[in-house]
Structure 1
């Protein structure tokens, strides 16, 4: 798609530094939290050793990690997740238990890495359909990382070219009206709303918003879990406890550092991701460690769609990826994508992890429904 649109992109190396939260370390009398550094696609072998680890303990950790990762990879390619009679997958927690994947590896390596993609606590991630994670692993195994050369803004500008946009507008209702679709909305600050008929409507919003404005899906959308995720752009280097040599590597070979700090207290296991940008700024997602407010450049909150076997079944029934006649009929939607010329698109609109790939797949589905060829598809 990027090739067809003429969007420039390039391979990008990463250093994933794994660390424990400071509160846990103070109880143990340690100051440095880093315990392993992984170079994406093994572009640096052996991986850099955290300075606080002895050579013996470091190599013990490496051997343990290699064995656990090899076992997990074999399981992903050799053992499919179980499928229930309702057509849903077993949860990731159930799959990992069934495969005897060690808990330490799961807590301090597997979940932190995946949660940096899914931006959610470990408990929520363990409740995902195992098929999501297994399929993600199969499709991305050994593949290089790529990033847009001129930033995602360049992609947005190209996609939105010649499209009329109305910002600061809240849609209150979308409903069929004869052979057309009636859309009601109100501009921010306006005293009265606007109603207009359209031939077709595409909703590219989170499921909780779909449930608010599209009555036929109100119940089903209420059963799809969501959470609010915060990202903060800042320059608080004290928030980054990693070894300085890794920062030097980050600047020398072009690898970008992603620092994954995990808290595994009794109440909640979660990981915050700190992505060090080439300009020196840090983007912290799902923060739980204190950040100097005077160092904050910008912060934003957004809705993150989560996954569960129940929501998997709902989504598949709407997009007809699985039969809708099994199990609880209330969860199985009678309304199908495209009914009444109303379409749904988004990262959550497919049977997989909520990613940008889901946006593209669902958009192509709508294009096919409109009878439009997708030129970059074979």
Structure 2
């Protein structure tokens, strides 16, 4: 008598469109082996770039720089510029080669808990890079003047979470030789400088109070609190928005009602002393977030105030990190072999929200009207709320992009466009701003990162500039590479709409920044078939959103297919 053999495991095929960090994390989790009774899951990745992964735009630069280094070969192309069919093999770069991540992949401990946990799980080495900063501004180019102007910083921040303080810009240091007239002028400039430093200190202290108050009281994740629909511009007008009468009428426990009463009393007192200073926001806060988000200054002003406040609260006192040997080590550890294409049981769109919306619109047109088509229309409606802005990253050796005096150089040198008061002023601007020039809401803050070189090449200077200003462009003769990206920007409309795809929930499967838990939203939970994920899923669109959203989608697919992520693949 023969014993019937157990049926073969179910074959499940998943297609993933896009191989950035989101697609790679989903691939890694889905292809991790599970128990013998689990289905056999294979994953195919579709990517239009020459290589898989978040490393596709990065470059390797030989040291010392030679004439051939002006046009280094990007990863994934052979010497003739053809696509390489070889798998990515990662070895630590020798001291004679500098690996440059494009774009820069720095992250802060408090805002990226899942990203850091993933890197630790994979054994990816990171290193602390607590950046120093310089802040400068440049006027719009004038036809009557030379087009190239060297930035002169007005703030030099020495890093270490503020413990190293600020430095005096070179333009304010005592002149040589010393003359009575020049000394008097210098005293006046130094006095004005220390006035601006005082404004910076007070503005930062007020911002911290605002951030810690709204974050730790849960206002930033409370869907009924008006701060959730405040933009950063609104926060200048009203830093402590009052709850509406509708929310006051909700049924609360006695403890909650007492808590709200105490909260309102405290906010009435805080309103007299604490606000988001407009000058501080113009000169420091928005340029910094324009660089962090790689978005225009106008988009920063339209960003949900709750996301900015969460970022400030969660990164307070935390270190910055980068991957020690470049992000290609992450790609190599996450990547699995890909096989023949189709048919598929699941498709994960790990592309930009606008690209995914385009794909899905065409797919919906091929469907008969049913519940799935209606669900996908809802998904497309959410994805179309996200706006994208182009960002340019240039690696180069042009010292003109830095402040004129080397003593003013910092790790990250920020330069914002300015306009004179009276030129295209925003109607909401208050009368208490005293500067003659303001950071314009048009254009980007340019960020020039001085790259850390191996000890054998410390005499060289290589920089990565993100979004060069029209009046301050690197000399083409000194350019190593140019890469263009599209980056998601978050506004209040998209911030509210994305709850349909990913939502905060006490029972959420994944814990993200601030200990908050995230779950799939009603448009994705238990749906199956077509899935969407990406950096835009939670918080400011950064790498943490890639990891969190990919985890949620991968775990949901495995649950639907009767499988689980094995212990060795969890972090």
Q: Could you say which structure has the higher strand fraction?
A: 1
Distance in 1, Cα, partners of 2:504 & 2:343: 30
Question: CA separation in 2, counterparts of 1:295 and 1:165?
Answer: 41
3-state DSSP of counterpart to 2:537: coil
The corresponding residue for 1:363 is 550
Q: Give the Å deviation of 1:347.
A: 0.8
Instruction: Tell me if the contact between 1:202 and 1:345 (Cα under 8 Å) persists in the aligned partners.
Output: yes
Partner of 2:466: 285
Partner Cα distance (1:127, 1:353) in 2? 12
Which of residues 489, 510, 515 is equivalent to 1:306? 489
Q: 1:86 to 1:114 in 2, by over 3 A?
A: closer
Shift of 1:198: 0.9
Q: Identify the residue that residue 209 of structure 2 maps to in structure 1.
A: 74
User: Which residue is equivalent to 2:395?
Assistant: 233
* Deviation readout 1:57-109 (Å, 9 max, x if unpaired): 33333222111100110011113458568995311211232133222211110
Task: With a CA cutoff of 8 Å and minimum separation of 6, indicate the structure with the bigger relative contact order.
Answer: 2
Post-superposition shift, 1:22?
5.2
Secondary structure in structure 1 of the residue aligned to 2:480: strand
1:103–1:135 distance in 2 versus 1, CA, 3 Å? same
Q: Specify whether residues 269 and 105 from structure 1 end up closer, same or farther in structure 2 by C-alpha distance, changes over 3 A only.
A: farther
Map 1:45-60 onto structure 2 (within 5 A): 45-53=164-172, 54-60=189-195
TM-score (norm: length of structure 1):
0.78
Structure 1 residue ranges, 4+ long, deviating more than 4 angstroms after superposition:
22-27, 81-88, 373-378
Contact map agreement 2:130 2:161 (CA 8 A) in 1:
no
Deviations 1:170-223 (A, max 9, x none): xxxxxxxxxxxxxxxxxxxxxxxxx73112222110011111112323343222
Instruction: Say if 1:367 and 1:373, in contact at 8 Å, map to a contact too.
Output: no
CA contact (8 A) 1:367 1:374 kept: no
Q: Aligned runs of 1:1-378 on 2, under 5 Å?
A: 1-21=118-138, 23=140, 33-42=152-161, 45-53=164-172, 54-79=189-214, 80=219, 88-99=228-239, 100-160=275-335, 162-164=336-338, 196-215=342-361, 216=376, 217-247=379-409, 257-265=411-419, 266=424, 268=442, 270-279=444-453, 280-288=461-469, 289-321=472-504, 335-336=523-524, 339-350=527-538, 352-369=539-556, 370=558, 371-372=564-565
Q: Distance in 2 between matches of 1:227 and 1:292?
A: 24
- CA distance in 2: counterparts of 1:133 and 1:198, whole angstroms: 40
Query: Partners of 1:376 and 1:242 in 2: how far apart?
Result: 50
CA contact (8 A) 1:88 1:310 kept: no
Distance 1:276 1:86 in 2: 41
Q: Across the two proteins, how many residue pairs are aligned to each other? A: 328
Q: Are 2:153 and 2:403, in contact at CA under 8 Å, matched by a contact in 1?
A: yes
Partners in 1 of 2:299 and 2:403 — Cα distance? Answer: 27
Report the Cα offset of residue 339 of structure 1. Answer: 2.2
| Structure 2 runs not aligned, ≥5 long | 1-117, 173-188, 240-274, 362-375, 425-439, 454-460, 506-520, 559-563
Q: Provide the C-alpha distance between the structure 2 equivalents of 1:239 and 1:372, rounded to a whole number of angstroms.
A: 48
Distance in 1 between residues matched to 2:554 and 2:522, nearest whole Å: 22
Q: Over residues 123-181 of structure 1, what are the superposed CA-to-partner deviations in whole Å (9 max), with x where a residue is unaligned?
A: 11111111111111111111011111111111112111x33289xxxxxxxxxxxxxxx
Unaligned runs of 5+ in 1: 167-194, 251-256, 323-332
Separation in 1, partners of 2:444, 2:212: 27
TM-score w.r.t. the length of structure 2 is: 0.53
SS in 1 for 2:319: coil
Moved more, 118-127 or 40-49: 40-49
Bigger Rg over Cα = 2
String of CA shifts for 1:309-353, please: whole Å, max 9, x gaps: 11112211122448xxxxxxxxxx974256233222211122x10
